[in-house]
């Protein structure tokens, strides 16, 4: 029997190998040299540039674009990496439409910003393709620092510390380093195993050891780390997910969107990745969009993103919403899940329409049943098993200044810490800044 | 629609757009297609003496500089005059002129600075039926090393002498093409006039090296590791050409001498500017070499539309109109006071005006925390740099202060016209008339 998008239930191989390869190719193909030069020429080299201010890592964007325009993309890449060692991944996953490109004066003038993200990718790709590393380590300091989590925050922190001459050990719960770069980003944003290539390239700085499969709390305690190392940085991300707390959640075929995305990223063969005929994704953030779009790309016949508030309140950017709708995803706003229906397997998700009453989400009593043989939950992640005895705030590790926790000698950054907006680029900035603070603190003591 | 028919030295062409003597006009095939495409006239690629023709390099003969999106802004060449046999060229010219009697056909000539050489070639050219000749005293490369081209154009006495020979042995109009590779363009133009030339055409190309290959450490275009200067042309040379044209147009000795304008003419507007400065027509090369013959269609439609809008019925109506407004610095009105004004609605907040003024000019633009840029009249000298660097057209403009108002920068009242010649700071000032 032929399997197609119209095949009921959850099944793999809805599309041919060629169709899948086409669907999961680079969302934004790299610029070639001429395209990059034309794009770079559009930059006005603004004074005190708004794009630079909007970048959480404060990359000198006008300078790097000018370096591209004058034929030195490697120098441009160095400008980027000086501020953001994961500039390669950020070029792929940053929501530039709400950061640098949103404030580009050409966006204001013409509605067409300079393509900063793609230019950043052009520059970083060029330098990384040279297979060299542009930074050198300072003389050894003799200090050892533990970094918990090999995601964007941890990697950024570790690299900056290593550059300063410290020895760094990164502990990561997963088998592979990279954190969300490796497990949490839509496949079409990080093609050709870029996340691992980037980690390998970053580690060329030297002085960094990664211990995979080691989780804080499960395999090692914060107390032990604090005693074995001169400082600890925690960038463990958010390891828990919120539950729906609705009847039927335990039905087969209802799962967390982050797991769906991670499986997809780790898949050797996209044809082996199962997806429902009718998929319902619950949530309104980037994870919901990534899961929904990829469900479509895998061959789901219908995909619905259901969000409890108005569409304008979605955490996913307007650009991401357009990407979803252009991929054939339906966005159903102002609905909250009431129940998941089905016998053994899921058959439909029932929602109640909502409205905003004085800022409070209120059910209207009217319901709708959306046929679904697969339901993906993307209603937020949480910090599970926060390490004792750190103070928490709003469920995250409370930090002040450059990531200082309530415990001396322990810093934190990225999604697991307060502040920031859970973006890769923010995590990079926080890891970098914590590293600078750790360095100053440790060397001041010496 | 405006009539573009232009008569230059008695030679009528359907429009003032001629192709300059250059690679596009090297042979019958090109010239026929050029006329068919709409060009009003052609100056045939320069003819040399009878006998074995010149040879060209067999490596690259052009170099270029580019702007955004590889837009060609300037080009240079080390090509010589026609490398085809004289008689072949003459036969082709005869056929083309016969078939295109309404179009202008001019023969460009470059032979040694000897009377015999000119005496022998001119009757041959006369027989083709060409409407006139243009003396190539401009090529700055190759031929100049052999005492021709710019080597002649740089010596006014030679220009006069050859022009006299040409008037003696040729009955139709003689145009002298001038080289810009001199210090004062008025001198060779005066010499041409003294020699009896009917017109001058300018500019020929400018000595140039477009690039240095930093791997080969050699100028481009590079021939087997070496390079020689070429002749520069294209949009980049237009300002130089406009200035030289204006100098001849307003110079006492040369005023009224017909001019055929050449130098980076790429659009109808460029052509109109040359003609406003006194050119009876224009010659184009680089634009055709960049975009092909079809580019003339835009020039024709653009000039027609502009003339209609302005109410000009013939090109005669506006030729030379800007000449009286070209003057010496010393006659500029020092009591003309303007201030930059930034249109806040048009401003996109790039801050280039601020950086330029703050770093390199008069610190006359203020920047607020909200990126609002405003002009400080007390500091603004109206230099226009902010206007020039602003990426938004018409966002920054220069506004004239009314007479009788106070210039906040100097504290002085804006008065009537007065220039440097009467200024108290001028040691050579003459007292203003009572």
Query: Which of A46, A71, A111, A113 should one mutate to test binding to chain B, selecting the residue with the greatest count of B CBs within 10 A?
Result: A46
The domain limits of chain A are: 33-129, 144-239+390-445, 242-378
**How far apart, in Å, are the Cα atoms of B163 and each of A215, B7, B196, B401?**
94, 22, 6, 52
Residues 6+ apart with CB under 8 A from B332: B419, B420
Nearest to B212 by CA among B201, B231, B226, B191: B226
Query: How far apart, in whole angstroms, are the C-alpha atoms of residue A151 and residue A351?
Result: 35
Residue A384 touches partner B, C-beta closer than 8 Å: no
CA dihedral defined by B227, B233, B234, B236, rounded to 10 degrees? Answer: 90
Contact residues, chain A, for B350 at CB < 8 Å? 44, 46-47, 105
Question: Which residues of B have a catalytic role annotated?
Answer: 139
| Residue of chain A whose Cα is closest to the Cα of B392 | A109
Pairing of strands A208-212, A10-11: unpaired
At A245-282, the pLDDT tens digits run 888 888 889 999 999 999 999 999 999 999 999 999 99
Residue with tokens 């040369």: B254
CA-based angle B382:B341:B361, to the nearest 5?
A: 40
A362 and A354 in contact (C-beta within 8 Å)?
yes
Query: How far apart, in whole angstroms, are the C-alpha atoms of residue B356 and residue B369?
Result: 18
Contact residues, chain B, for A41 at CB < 8 Å? 68-69
Question: Across the interface, do A44 and B350 touch by the CB < 8 Å criterion?
Answer: yes
Could you say which residues of chain A have pLDDT below 50? 446
Contact residues, chain A, for B392 at CB < 8 Å? 109
* CATH number listed for the domain at residues A144-239+390-445: 3.50.50.60
Torsion angles phi and psi, residue A358, rounded to 5: 50, 45
Question: Across the interface, do B350 and A38 touch by the CB < 8 Å criterion?
Answer: no
Quick one: tokens of A66?
Answer: 């000018």
DSSP 8-state symbol, B315: G
Contact residues, chain A, for B371 at CB < 8 Å? 48, 50
* Other Cβ atoms closer than 10 A to A302: 18
How far out from the chain centre does Cα B101 lie? Answer: 28
Residue B371 touches partner A, C-beta closer than 8 Å: yes
Choose the closest CB to B348 out of A47, A49, A109.
Answer: A109
Query: How far apart, in whole angstroms, are the C-alpha atoms of residue A223 and residue A207?
Result: 23
- How far is B122 from chain A, CA to nearest CA, in Å? 50
Question: Across the interface, do A47 and B68 touch by the CB < 8 Å criterion?
Answer: no
Quick one: tokens of A159?
Answer: 């690299």
Contact residues, chain A, for B346 at CB < 8 Å? none
Residue B367 touches partner A, C-beta closer than 8 Å: yes
At A384-434, the pLDDT tens digits run 888 989 999 999 999 999 999 999 999 999 999 999 788 999 999 999 999
Question: Across the interface, do A105 and B349 touch by the CB < 8 Å criterion?
Answer: yes
Query: Which of B66, B211, B348 should one mutate to test binding to chain A, selecting the residue with the greatest count of A CBs within 10 A?
Result: B348
Domains A144-239+390-445 and A242-378 share a fold: yes
Residues 6+ apart with CB under 8 A from B246: B277, B278, B322, B323, B326
Question: Across the interface, do A46 and B391 touch by the CB < 8 Å criterion?
Answer: no
CA-based angle A117:A122:A127, to the nearest 5?
A: 125
- How far is B75 from chain A, CA to nearest CA, in Å? 20
A97 and A319 in contact (C-beta within 8 Å)?
yes
Question: Across the interface, do B350 and A46 touch by the CB < 8 Å criterion?
Answer: yes
B277 and B244 in contact (C-beta within 8 Å)?
no
Report all structural domains of chain B as residue ranges with CATH numbers, in order of start: 6-325 (3.20.20.70), 329-422 (3.30.70.20)
A252 and A347 in contact (C-beta within 8 Å)?
no
Between helix B186-194 and helix B238-250 the angle, nearest 10°, is: 50
CA-based angle B343:B349:B350, to the nearest 5?
A: 120
Could you say which residues of chain B have pLDDT below 50? none
pLDDT, position B433 = 58
A205 and A137 in contact (C-beta within 8 Å)?
yes
For chain A, how many residues are written? Answer: 446
Contact residues, chain B, for A38 at CB < 8 Å? 68-69
Residue with tokens 């154009």: B153
- How far is B317 from chain A, CA to nearest CA, in Å? 40
Question: Across the interface, do A108 and B348 touch by the CB < 8 Å criterion?
Answer: yes
CA-based angle A386:A389:A392, to the nearest 5?
A: 55
* Other Cβ atoms closer than 10 A to A9: 13
| Residue of chain B whose Cα is closest to the Cα of A106 | B348
Choose the closest CB to A38 out of B68, B349, B352.
Answer: B68
Contact residues, chain B, for A47 at CB < 8 Å? 350-352, 354-355, 367
Residue B355 touches partner A, C-beta closer than 8 Å: yes
pLDDT, position A445 = 55
Query: Domain A242-378 adopts which CATH fold?
Result: FAD/NAD(P)-binding domain (3.50.50)
Question: Across the interface, do B69 and A38 touch by the CB < 8 Å criterion?
Answer: yes
Choose the closest CB to B351 out of A34, A37, A47.
Answer: A47
pLDDT, position A444 = 87
Quick one: tokens of A81?
Answer: 């990496």
> Looking at domain A33-129, which of 1.10.150.120, 3.60.21.10, 1.10.3720.10, 1.10.1060.10 is its CATH number?
1.10.1060.10
CA-based angle A31:A428:A233, to the nearest 5?
A: 155
Quick one: tokens of B262?
Answer: 């050449």
3-state SS class at B39: coil
Contact residues, chain B, for A49 at CB < 8 Å? 351
At B4-13, the pLDDT tens digits run 999 999 999 9
Q: Which of residues 42-71 of B touch A (CB under 8 A)?
A: 68-70
Query: How far apart, in whole angstroms, are the C-alpha atoms of residue B148 and residue B216?
Result: 31
DSSP annotation string for A181-229:
HHHTS-GGGS-TTHHHHHHHHHHTTSSEEEEET--BTTTB-HHHHHHHS
First-residue to last-residue Cα distance in chain B: 51
**How far apart, in Å, are the Cα atoms of B196 and each of B111, B320, B337?**
19, 22, 46
Question: Across the interface, do B355 and A47 touch by the CB < 8 Å criterion?
Answer: yes
Question: Across the interface, do A34 and B70 touch by the CB < 8 Å criterion?
Answer: yes
Residue B302 touches partner A, C-beta closer than 8 Å: no
Query: How far apart, in whole angstroms, are the C-alpha atoms of residue B47 and residue B51?
Result: 11
Residues 6+ apart with CB under 8 A from B211: B63, B65, B219, B220
């Amino acid at each position: 029997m032929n399997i197609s998008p119209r095949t009921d239930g959850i099944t793999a191989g809805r599309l041919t190998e060629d169709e899948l390869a086409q669907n999961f190719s680079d969302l934004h193909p790299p610029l070639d040299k001429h395209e990059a030069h034309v794009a770079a020429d559009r930059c006005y080299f603004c004074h005190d540039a708004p794009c630079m201010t909007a970048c959480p890592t404060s990359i000198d964007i006008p300078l790097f674009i000018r370096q591209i325009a004058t034929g030195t993309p490697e120098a441009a890449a160095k400008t980027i990496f000086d501020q953001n060692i994961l500039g390669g991944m950020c070029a792929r996953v940053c929501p530039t439409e709400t950061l640098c490109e949103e404030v580009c004066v050409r966006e204001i003038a013409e509605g067409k910003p300079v393509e900063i993200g793609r230019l950043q990718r052009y520059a970083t790709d060029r330098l990384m393709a040279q297979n060299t590393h542009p930074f050198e380590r300072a003389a050894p300091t003799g200090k050892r620092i533990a970094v918990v989590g090999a995601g964007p925050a941890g990697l950024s922190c570790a690299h900056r510390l290593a550059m300063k001459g410290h020895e760094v050990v990164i502990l990561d719960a997963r088998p592979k380093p990279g954190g969300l770069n490796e497990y949490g980003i839509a496949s079409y944003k990080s093609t050709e195993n870029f996340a691992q290539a980037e980690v390998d390239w970053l580690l060329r700085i030297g002085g960094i050891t990664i211990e995979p499969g080691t989780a804080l709390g499960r395999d090692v305690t914060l107390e032990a780390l604090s005693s074995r190392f001169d400082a600890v940085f925690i960038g463990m991300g958010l390891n828990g997910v919120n539950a729906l707390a609705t009847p039927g959640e335990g039905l087969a075929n209802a799962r967390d969107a982050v797991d769906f995305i991670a499986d997809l990223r780790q898949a050797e063969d996209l044809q082996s990745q199962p997806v429902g005929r009718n998929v319902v994704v619950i949530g309104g953030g980037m994870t919901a969009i990534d899961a929904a779009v990829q469900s479509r790309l895998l061959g789901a016949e219908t995909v619905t993103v259901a969000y409890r508030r108005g569409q304008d309140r979605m955490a996913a950017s307007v650009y991401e919403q357009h990407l979803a709708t252009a991929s054939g995803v339906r966005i159903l706003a102002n609905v909250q899940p009431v129940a998941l229906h089905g016998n053994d397997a899921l058959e439909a998700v029932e929602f109640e329409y909502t409205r905003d009453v004085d800022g409070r989400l209120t059910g209207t009593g009217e319901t709708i049943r959306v046929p679904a043989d697969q339901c993906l939950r993307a209603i937020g992640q949480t910090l599970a098993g926060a390490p004792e005895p750190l103070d928490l705030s709003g469920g995250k590790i409370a930090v002040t200044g450059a990531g200082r926790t309530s415990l001396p000698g322990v810093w934190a950054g990225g999604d697991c810490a307060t502040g920031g907006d859970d973006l890769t680029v923010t995590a990079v900035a926080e890891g970098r800044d914590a590293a600078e603070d750790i360095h100053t603190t440790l060397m001041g003591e010496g | 629609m405006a009539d573009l028919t232009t008569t230059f030295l008695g030679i009528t062409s359907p429009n003032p757009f001629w192709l300059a003597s250059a690679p596009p006009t090297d042979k019958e095939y090109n010239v026929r297609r050029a006329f068919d495409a709409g060009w009003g006239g052609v100056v045939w690629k320069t003819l040399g003496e009878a006998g074995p023709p010149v040879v060209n390099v067999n490596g690259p003969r052009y170099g270029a500089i580019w702007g955004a999106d590889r837009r060609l802004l300037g080009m240079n060449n080390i090509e010589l005059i026609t490398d085809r046999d004289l008689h072949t060229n003459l036969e082709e010219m005869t056929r083309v002129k016969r078939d295109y009697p309404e179009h202008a056909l001019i023969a460009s000539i470059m032979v040694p600075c000897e009377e015999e050489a000119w005496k022998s070639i001119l009757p041959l050219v006369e027989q083709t039926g060409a409407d006139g000749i243009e003396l190539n005293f401009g090529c700055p490369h190759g031929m100049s090393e052999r005492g021709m081209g710019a080597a002649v154009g740089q010596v006014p006495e030679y220009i006069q002498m050859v022009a006299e020979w040409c008037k003696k042995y040729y009955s139709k109009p003689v145009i002298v093409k001038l080289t810009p590779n001199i210090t004062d363009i008025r001198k060779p133009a005066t010499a041409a006039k003294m020699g009896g030339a009917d017109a001058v055409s300018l500019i020929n190309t400018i000595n140039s090296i477009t690039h240095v290959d930093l791997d080969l450490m050699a100028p481009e275009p590079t021939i087997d590791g070496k390079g020689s200067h070429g002749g520069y042309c294209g949009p980049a040379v237009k300002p130089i050409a406009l200035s030289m044209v204006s100098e001849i147009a307003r110079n006492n000795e040369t005023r009224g001498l017909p001019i055929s304008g050449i130098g980076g003419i790429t659009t109808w507007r460029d052509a109109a500017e040359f003609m406003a400065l006194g050119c009876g027509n224009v010659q184009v090369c680089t634009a055709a070499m960049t975009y092909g013959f079809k580019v003339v269609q835009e020039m024709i439609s653009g000039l027609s539309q502009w003339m209609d809008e302005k109410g000009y019925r013939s090109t005669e109506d506006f030729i030379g109109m800007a000449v009286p407004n070209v003057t010496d610095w010393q006659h500029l009105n020092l009591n003309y006071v303007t201030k930059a004004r930034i249109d806040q609605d048009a401003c996109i907040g790039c801050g280039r005006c601020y950086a330029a003024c703050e770093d390199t000019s008069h610190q006359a633009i203020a920047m607020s925390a909200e990126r609002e840029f405003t002009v400080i009249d007390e500091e603004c000298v109206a230099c226009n740099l902010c206007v020039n660097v602003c990426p938004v057209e018409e966002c920054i403009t220069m506004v004239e202060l009314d007479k009788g108002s106070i210039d906040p920068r100097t504290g002085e009242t804006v008065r009537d016209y007065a220039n440097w010649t009467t200024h108290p700071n001028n040691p050579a000032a003459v007292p203003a008339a009572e």
